[in-house]
Structure 1
Amino acid sequence: MFLDLIQLYRKNQNIGKIPLEDFNTEVFANILKMYPKVCEDFCLNFLKLPLDNYIIKTQYHQFIASQKPNCIIDLVLIGDSNICFLESKVESIEGDEQLLRYEMALIENHSEKGKYLLYCTKYSDPKKVDLIRNTVSFNQIRWYQIAKFLKQYKENPIIKSYLEFLNQYKMSQDNTLKSENLIAMENMRKTIEIVEFHIENSKHAFIELFGGTSLNKNANWDQIKDKNRVCYYKDNILKTEKNAWSEILYAIEFGELKMTSQIYVDKNHESYQDFVDLKVPENFKKVEFDFGAAIQLQEELGKYLNNIYADKHIQDWFIDSFKQIKSLINTNELQWNLKK
């Protein structure tokens, strides 16, 4: 159900039908409701709340005895002896005296309970601790910290999809500038130039076997930003009446530090199931993604570390992988759209 909701949000986001903050809070709250062990881990080990029997409420109405507006708290954890208000911000900032009003609501409505107030934001928005009285424990957290916590449960398909949602809206990214980031910045241009050289060094052989694709000047940057790689590819390699995506691609992957050559086919392609069912040699690896599948050859980039002949060895590996992919293509009955 939540996977469908996330897809629905993505379809409607541009026309403003569903506020991002409300949608995000409801999905996260329902994950906590659905998985009691995750909820317990979140409350006790992540938030460091006291041991209690917590239930989850959203859009929780609270009255306060003042001229200030009453409160509607995004997410509330209610225990027998403790209560925690969590206010979530994604693309907005704190409302007028919002945290102060939540403090008042906790004090006026929950005098017998341990009281906790959390301010969870996408961006840094530091608040003075002395804003909150001694009777209320106040803390600030960021959405990237929640994403990091949830990654230990990423084998769960719903949590995995939610993590992808957080990543899409840049809520899982820790933007703290660290020493390793400065070192990476210093060497980034040279590193990209080296990787681009190795991709260019094998392009002629790739085009000879499969044909070429005209890429715009920003193609490498787009690939680095979106896929964490530099690559070259030939698309539309399988015949289709549905304009479905298929490609042969070779790349250097930054995250895995690997060289990859692969055939990739989208799930909505007419030949997808036949492609997935192909029998391949043992050195090929089949990988299924959310939107398609690939048949891959890979090699560790570190194998050529500090090797003065690395440019030739890397080129040789790519060219050999192209030939193996070409041989695979020539030995099956799929409707390939490639030059002979």
Structure 2
Amino acid sequence: MAPTTTQQWTIEGKNGFESLKFNEKAPIPKLGDRDVLVKIHAVSLNYRDLIIPKGKYAFGMNDGVVPGSDGAGTVEAVGSGVTRFKPGDKVVTLFNQGHLGGSLDGQSVATGLGGAVDGTLREYGAFDEQGLVHMPSNLNWLEASTLSCAALTAWNALYGLESRALKPGDTVLTQGTGGVSTFAVQFAKAAGAQVIATTSSEKKAELLKKYGADHVINYKENPNWGEHAKGLTPGQAGVAHVIEVGGPTTMAQSLKAIKIDGVISIIGFVGGFGKEQPSFLDCLTNICTVRGLLVGSRLQFEDMNRAIEANDIHPIVDEKVFDLAHAREAYEYMWDQKHFGKLCIKVAD
């Protein structure tokens, strides 16, 4: 018999992490014809998850939503019309449930898990079959739970513009040691690219080198790290791809690092907002493409998973793992930037 209740977290209000509420017996709605009931084994957090209960998320969200976009689990039951999955399959959730391929549109951008629709921070969840992908066979539950947002975002940044897709010999610049940046390091190395990474910690610098970074720049010791990165590229031509996670406070340095016709992919704004920041004209003077992106499509997810299996890539998971009942503590731990790579919550064995 399929379960009828689930333990889950919801976001009630915008008062910070106190807005996270735990319900031990929430009802599971009846499955529709196209729905898949998933027993969730692991969830991973993203910066986006932290700012939603603080009321700082730029995209739509509903009060009372189950948070979390990233989850890996086992198919427990399927609706009568489901053809893509069967009970026992191992699956991973798609961030924007309606983004199956091509560009985002107004409809698909409004299907984000953990914001617009109920997400993964629960024991059981029902998802439309189109909003799931098969889990890579080389990963465990914790590793697979990290793919939905950070990994797919990094993949989209490197391969989303077909005319500028990453190729062997390119140089990629990453910022910090969050999930998107560490995935970008691994994907770029698997593609035969050179990687320059930035961080402010010697310990994290060593870990970045362990996972494939060719050069690591301490941005606190060298505030002109963009020009330094450009000097490390062949012929000092600049980097082909910048994974821009800092936002306005780091964009000026990213522009100093980029090569002619390079791509700066804006992922987020973890560095906050600064009064002085580059203008649109800087894209012209540096002759580059600056691109904002929001995760990626299911087709990109499936391409990425094939690459993960073919290259036996394993996501970087923080050594500290929380359980479902202590999810609020996980939020606080990540907000304090104590993590390296992806922070995970174990839901079931």
Confirm or deny a common fold (TM above 0.5): no
Query: Looking at CA atoms only, which structure, 1 or 2, has the larger radius of gyration?
Result: 1
Between Structure 1 and Structure 2, which shows a larger proportion of strand residues?
2
Using structure 2 for the length normalisation, give the TM-score. 0.28
Relative to its length, the structure with more helix (as a share) is 1
Provide the TM-score with structure 1 as the length reference.
Answer: 0.28
